[in-house]
Structure 1
Amino acid sequence: MQIPGLDAYKEKWGIGSRSVIEPGLERMERVLAELGNPEQHDKIVHVAGTNGKGSTIAFMKAICESHGVTYGAFQSPAILDVHDQITINGQNATEVQLDSAMRRIAETKDADSLTDFELLTICAFLIFNESNVEIWLIETGMGGRYDSTNVIPQSIAIITSLAIEHTNFLGESLEEIGEHKAGILKQDSDVFLPEDIYLPPFEREADMKNARLFRMRPLTEDIELSLLGEHQRMNATLASTALSQYLQLDDTLLRSGLKKAFIPFRMEKITENIYLDGAHNPAAAKALVETIQAQFSNEKIHFVMGILKDKDFEEVLRTYETVANKFTFVDFSYERALKSNRLVELCRIQNVSCKHISEIDINLLNNDNYRSFITGSLYFLSEWKLKNRI
């Protein structure tokens, strides 16, 4: 998986990390030991799950900000480039910060053994330490147990959701995938998860590690959220409950934070008629459709869709077809992008077209008679946003 903008830093500092997915913690542990174990911190919330990780962290960021608490957040994939994967109090990591971290890593003897994601994970730990922030918000890249972020020795865990994903790495059943995500539970720690999640893997892990498992119900309707969709009530619940273990939350400040939470590409309103939503798997597509049914039930819906060929694009398409009046399938430049004509072949509704990303004009979309949802891969959404200078 190529991380936009990372190659320039690797070349500058002579780091030969690899653009591959290679689960395991041994490489991380060796390099971190050489660096003095910067991953050790006393207030970390570690977030795993198939969907909802980004939204849950967005709520935690907003709650920290409303309470005047400093935080660092590490998330993936990049929205525009490598800098936005590491944020300090809402600000992207700077070139100076990344240069400093890369220089230190380049001086270790095992730097070249790392994958690119491992390299970036270590950069996040170094930058958070240097910035002396109070709370770390860490999102797993994939799975959990063997994800590079799981070198942290202690944390509160959040499991946002569980669905079939990354079957070539994580397995083909909820049991197998849950086993990976349960791996982020730490000894004698707390873990928060939705009450309706498939529980057995988490119960077993909690028993082995003497961890306390809390099944949560969504927030009540009287609490106003900035992020649309009923599923966000559970994400907000998980976020606020986990943070309450570290912070004394004030109800007024909590409500203020939950009203201000923001995440790019999650029902992000661009104009009155255009929204961006990076739903790239069936569970996320289902959540988007439920939001559309709740918020825009009497409107004509246009999906502008670009997606990766290694995703379950047919099931995503079938889900969107339940509410769609029109599709535009888009070719974009990312190396794993699915060709738009493949989606045309599969699509079961009549009003369909193919376009190149350069033809998706914001003004034309905003002025037609549809509510348009630009969706699919975050790489597609990022490229479109850059081309339209948004």
Structure 2
Amino acid sequence: MSNLAHKKSLAQWLAYIETMHCSEIDMGLDRILLVYRKLQKNNGRKGKPGAKVITVAGTNGKGSTVAVIERLLLNKGAQVGCYTSPHIERFNERVRVNGIEVEDQKLVDSFVRVEAARGKTSLTYFEYTTLVAFDVFAQSSLDYAVLEVGLGGRLDAVNIIDPDLAIITSVDLDHMDWLGDDREKIGFEKAGILRFGQSAIYAEANPPSSVLQQVQAQKVTLLRLGQAYGQLDAGDDGGNCTDNLADSVTARFRVIPFVAGQKTDSESVSEVHFQLPPHVLPLQNRMAAIQAVLLLGESLVQSEVDRCFRDMVVPGRLELIDAARHLWVDVGHNPHAARFLAGRIAALKLQHPGKRCCVLFSMLSDKDIESVTEILKPVVDVWYLFPLSVPRACSLEQLESLARKQTLEFKSFGSAGDALRDLLQSEPDKTPTQFNIACGSFYTVAAVKNEWKRLNGK
């Protein structure tokens, strides 16, 4: 390899891999598996990126679930690596070791090693960065590697690793060009992270039959919300969870001795109850994360659960970035996420009676924009529309046309900066008359956060 490879900056490496492959998405595991095996051989290493691996798939809720698992395990003193995607502001967000974003030079060193192993094999951006994360973790002597699936599950790059525990957070409609046009087809793809004889968690009350069929075929021990664990008094199927911003809930969880790949004697299974405080993160994802940690053989007590959620913030997940101006950001970008966000906005309106909700809004053109706006319409008073400066962005004209069709009250702006400045200038600093949420895409959140930092000199 050229010595120039060692001199590239992280930004140069990212620019290099963006144009390497013929398409942004190219489902399949053959190419990445070939390079991964060469990478392991070159490094003189075998095995997984961590002593135990947790793989998290799902339409929504993956990032929240990963973050809670990470925090619970770190608070137990474990060595934990997390791989998530996409990032919001900087690439380093994707690869964390012990809760800290990996620094540029360590990432560059891993890029060099992956490039040496790649040879002439072409990799997508996500495949390449997945191998970089695995290489970083291999250098870090981890107790746990928590891996977030990028797209689907069965053919996702992360799935070259056999997990000790698989979690499916939700199955709903998104990425239908790649995964299928209904929940059954999408569920089949996500169930591809299951492994024969292992344990898995499904974080909703109503899994598609395609998931249950794979559970049976793979002889998986499935812990399902509402059956194996969940909120007490939430109904027989666990579907009536009290998930708001005001009430604590009591939830039950199974404690099962962890023996990888083996069934556990039912007599050794016990139950524990925890009080979960109200939080902006979805209750079903928080419960799934707690159940996961217990299933991995870690013990938990109430004080550790309290400590986990005290002041916990996950970037882009209804994240409050300006308390004085009541400004939140949320990366939700499909109908399933919009339904959750609508519920949170309704709860915020109860907490701020008489205040309007203003949404800074933009989306990608290949998303179900009409359904998202229709779901949010009953709880949003004013829409601040602007186009994103990225490929696949929905144009301002398209956003305006949809707003007129749905009779939304809206304002139009040429950029996120223009929209944010207008919103902030219209609100007094000390007595805001509204609360504001930027949503619609990871790109929307990134644009608004960057502009907010610029306007505030940060």
Question: Could you state the TM-score of these two structures normalised by the residue count of structure 2?
Answer: 0.79
Asked if 1:53 corresponds to 2:62, the answer is yes
The answer (yes or no) to whether the contact 2:173–2:181 under 8 Å persists in 1 is yes
Structure 1 residue aligned with 2:372: 316
Give runs of aligned pairs for residues 237-276 of structure 1, distance below 5 A. Answer: 237-246=287-296, 247-272=298-323, 273-276=326-329
CA RMSD of aligned residues (A): 2.3
Could you tell which deviates more after superposition, 239-248 or 251-260? 251-260
Deviations 1:60-117 (A, max 9, x none): 1221232222211111111112211111112112111111111111112446411110
Instruction: Work out the CA distance in 1 between the residues paired with 2:366 and 2:302.
Output: 43
- Distance change in 2, residues 1:204/1:264 (3 Å): same
Structure 2: gaps (5+ residues)? 1-8, 41-45, 233-248, 251-274
The answer (yes or no) to whether the contact 2:10–2:107 under 8 Å persists in 1 is no
Structure 1 residue aligned with 2:199: 190
Structure 2 residue aligned with 1:70: 79
- Distance change in 2, residues 1:154/1:271 (3 Å): closer
Instruction: Work out the CA distance in 2 between the residues paired with 1:145 and 1:108.
Output: 24
Instruction: Work out the CA distance in 2 between the residues paired with 1:345 and 1:161.
Output: 31
The answer (yes or no) to whether the contact 2:54–2:167 under 8 Å persists in 1 is yes
Asked if 1:353 corresponds to 2:423, the answer is no
Deviations 1:274-318 (A, max 9, x none): 111111111101100011112323331111101111110111111
Give runs of aligned pairs for residues 9-20 of structure 1, distance below 5 A. Answer: 9-10=13-14, 16-17=20-21, 20=24
Question: Could you state the TM-score of these two structures normalised by the residue count of structure 1?
Answer: 0.92
Instruction: Work out the CA distance in 2 between the residues paired with 1:14 and 1:111.
Output: 16
Structure 1: gaps (5+ residues)? none
1:364 to 392, 406, 425: 425
- Distance change in 2, residues 1:12/1:317 (3 Å): closer
- Distance change in 2, residues 1:10/1:18 (3 Å): farther
Q: How many residue pairs were aligned?
A: 384
Structure 2 residue aligned with 1:381: 445
| 3-state SS, counterpart of residue 107 of structure 1 | helix
Identity %: 26
Give runs of aligned pairs for residues 138-287 of structure 1, distance below 5 A. Answer: 138-217=147-226, 218-219=230-231, 221-222=249-250, 223-225=275-277, 227-228=279-280, 232-246=282-296, 247-272=298-323, 273-287=326-340
Instruction: Work out the CA distance in 1 between the residues paired with 2:436 and 2:450.
Output: 18
Instruction: Work out the CA distance in 2 between the residues paired with 1:376 and 1:14.
Output: 24
The answer (yes or no) to whether the contact 1:301–1:370 under 8 Å persists in 2 is yes
Instruction: Work out the CA distance in 2 between the residues paired with 1:311 and 1:13.
Output: 25
The answer (yes or no) to whether the contact 2:172–2:336 under 8 Å persists in 1 is yes
Structure 1 residue aligned with 2:36: 32
Asked if 1:21 corresponds to 2:25, the answer is yes
- Distance change in 2, residues 1:98/1:11 (3 Å): same
Instruction: Work out the CA distance in 2 between the residues paired with 1:184 and 1:277.
Output: 27
The answer (yes or no) to whether the contact 1:161–1:197 under 8 Å persists in 2 is no
- Distance change in 2, residues 1:51/1:12 (3 Å): closer
Instruction: Work out the CA distance in 1 between the residues paired with 2:394 and 2:30.
Output: 34
- Give the AA of the match of 1:380: T
Deviations 1:125-174 (A, max 9, x none): 11111111211111000100000000012320111111011111101111
The answer (yes or no) to whether the contact 1:188–1:209 under 8 Å persists in 2 is yes
1:340 to 393, 396, 399: 396
Structure number with the bigger relative contact order (C-alpha 8 A, sep ≥ 6) is 1
The answer (yes or no) to whether the contact 1:44–1:135 under 8 Å persists in 2 is yes
Instruction: Work out the CA distance in 2 between the residues paired with 1:280 and 1:173.
Output: 17
